Amino acid sequence: MSTSTLPGRGGARSDTLTAAEFNDELRHVTRLDAPLAIDDPIAAALVEIEARPYNLQSRVLSRMLSALAYGAGDFRLAEISALDVPTRRIVLALSDACASGKTPHDAWVKAVDAAQLAAHG
Protein backbone atom coordinates (compact mmCIF):
# COMPACT_ATOMS: atom_id res chain seq x y z
CA MET A 1 0.00 0.00 0.00
CA SER A 2 1.19 3.46 -0.77
CA THR A 3 1.68 5.85 2.10
CA SER A 4 1.20 9.02 0.09
CA THR A 5 -2.14 10.72 0.37
CA LEU A 6 -4.19 12.76 -2.00
CA PRO A 7 -6.99 15.12 -1.16
CA GLY A 8 -10.32 13.47 -1.70
CA ARG A 9 -13.92 13.91 -0.77
CA GLY A 10 -13.93 13.68 2.98
CA GLY A 11 -10.24 14.20 3.68
CA ALA A 12 -6.88 12.69 2.87
CA ARG A 13 -6.91 9.49 0.83
CA SER A 14 -4.33 6.95 -0.09
CA ASP A 15 -3.57 6.88 -3.81
CA THR A 16 -4.00 3.08 -3.69
CA LEU A 17 -7.59 1.88 -3.47
CA THR A 18 -9.29 -1.44 -2.95
CA ALA A 19 -11.72 -2.56 -5.64
CA ALA A 20 -14.65 -1.35 -3.51
CA GLU A 21 -13.05 2.06 -2.93
CA PHE A 22 -12.22 2.32 -6.64
CA ASN A 23 -15.85 1.60 -7.51
CA ASP A 24 -17.10 4.16 -4.99
CA GLU A 25 -14.84 6.83 -6.47
CA LEU A 26 -15.79 5.80 -10.00
CA ARG A 27 -19.51 6.07 -9.14
CA HIS A 28 -18.89 9.56 -7.81
CA VAL A 29 -17.07 10.61 -10.98
CA THR A 30 -19.68 9.08 -13.29
CA ARG A 31 -22.77 10.26 -11.44
CA LEU A 32 -23.61 12.65 -14.30
CA ASP A 33 -22.88 10.16 -17.10
CA ALA A 34 -25.90 8.90 -19.01
CA PRO A 35 -26.77 5.43 -17.73
CA LEU A 36 -26.25 2.52 -20.06
CA ALA A 37 -27.46 -1.02 -19.45
CA ILE A 38 -24.93 -3.71 -20.30
CA ASP A 39 -26.64 -7.10 -20.55
CA ASP A 40 -23.49 -9.18 -20.11
CA PRO A 41 -20.71 -7.09 -18.55
CA ILE A 42 -18.29 -10.03 -18.40
CA ALA A 43 -18.62 -10.56 -22.15
CA ALA A 44 -18.30 -6.80 -22.77
CA ALA A 45 -15.13 -6.69 -20.68
CA LEU A 46 -13.63 -9.66 -22.49
CA VAL A 47 -14.38 -8.16 -25.91
CA GLU A 48 -12.44 -5.03 -24.89
CA ILE A 49 -9.60 -6.99 -23.32
CA GLU A 50 -9.21 -9.31 -26.31
CA ALA A 51 -9.33 -6.41 -28.80
CA ARG A 52 -6.65 -4.36 -27.02
CA PRO A 53 -5.02 -6.47 -24.30
CA TYR A 54 -2.15 -4.08 -23.57
CA ASN A 55 -3.88 -0.73 -23.17
CA LEU A 56 -4.75 0.80 -19.80
CA GLN A 57 -8.49 0.27 -20.23
CA SER A 58 -8.01 -3.47 -20.71
CA ARG A 59 -5.53 -3.79 -17.86
CA VAL A 60 -7.99 -2.13 -15.47
CA LEU A 61 -10.81 -4.36 -16.72
CA SER A 62 -8.62 -7.44 -16.22
CA ARG A 63 -7.67 -6.39 -12.72
CA MET A 64 -11.30 -5.63 -11.87
CA LEU A 65 -12.38 -9.09 -13.09
CA SER A 66 -9.69 -10.60 -10.88
CA ALA A 67 -10.65 -8.45 -7.90
CA LEU A 68 -14.30 -9.44 -8.22
CA ALA A 69 -13.48 -13.13 -8.71
CA TYR A 70 -10.98 -13.39 -5.87
CA GLY A 71 -11.96 -10.54 -3.55
CA ALA A 72 -8.62 -8.72 -3.69
CA GLY A 73 -6.99 -6.12 -5.88
CA ASP A 74 -5.46 -2.67 -5.79
CA PHE A 75 -6.19 0.25 -8.06
CA ARG A 76 -4.79 3.75 -8.35
CA LEU A 77 -6.99 6.77 -7.88
CA ALA A 78 -5.41 8.30 -11.00
CA GLU A 79 -6.65 5.38 -13.11
CA ILE A 80 -10.20 6.68 -12.83
CA SER A 81 -9.40 9.80 -14.82
CA ALA A 82 -7.61 7.70 -17.44
CA LEU A 83 -10.64 5.52 -18.17
CA ASP A 84 -12.86 6.34 -21.10
CA VAL A 85 -16.64 6.46 -20.65
CA PRO A 86 -17.38 3.00 -22.13
CA THR A 87 -14.79 1.37 -19.87
CA ARG A 88 -16.11 3.19 -16.80
CA ARG A 89 -19.56 1.84 -17.62
CA ILE A 90 -18.24 -1.71 -18.00
CA VAL A 91 -16.36 -1.52 -14.68
CA LEU A 92 -19.50 -0.38 -12.88
CA ALA A 93 -21.64 -3.00 -14.64
CA LEU A 94 -19.15 -5.69 -13.59
CA SER A 95 -19.38 -4.53 -9.98
CA ASP A 96 -23.17 -4.47 -10.09
CA ALA A 97 -23.28 -7.95 -11.63
CA CYS A 98 -20.98 -9.32 -8.96
CA ALA A 99 -22.96 -7.66 -6.17
CA SER A 100 -26.22 -9.10 -7.52
CA GLY A 101 -24.87 -12.62 -7.05
CA LYS A 102 -26.61 -13.78 -10.23
CA THR A 103 -23.37 -14.74 -11.99
CA PRO A 104 -21.80 -17.95 -10.67
CA HIS A 105 -18.32 -17.65 -9.20
CA ASP A 106 -17.03 -20.08 -11.82
CA ALA A 107 -17.98 -17.60 -14.56
CA TRP A 108 -15.83 -14.93 -12.89
CA VAL A 109 -12.88 -17.31 -12.63
CA LYS A 110 -13.23 -18.31 -16.29
CA ALA A 111 -13.35 -14.61 -17.24
CA VAL A 112 -10.11 -13.97 -15.35
CA ASP A 113 -8.49 -16.92 -17.13
CA ALA A 114 -9.66 -15.61 -20.53
CA ALA A 115 -8.38 -12.12 -19.75
CA GLN A 116 -4.99 -13.51 -18.72
CA LEU A 117 -4.83 -15.60 -21.87
CA ALA A 118 -5.55 -12.53 -23.99
CA ALA A 119 -2.80 -10.59 -22.27
CA HIS A 120 -0.21 -13.35 -22.33
CA GLY A 121 -1.38 -15.57 -25.14
This prediction's pTM? 0.82
Q: Of 12, 11, 9, 14, which Cα lies nearest the Cα of 28?
A: 9
| Domain ranges, ordered by start, for the chain | 5-120
CB 31 within 8 A of CB 62: no
pLDDT tens digit string along 17-66? 999 899 899 888 888 777 778 999 999 999 999 999 999 999 999 999 99
Which residues does 88 contact at the CB level (< 8 Å), separation at least 6?
26, 29, 30, 33, 80
How confident is residue 14, by pLDDT bands cut at 50, 70 and 90?
low
pLDDT in tens, 60-87: 999 999 999 999 899 999 999 899 999 9
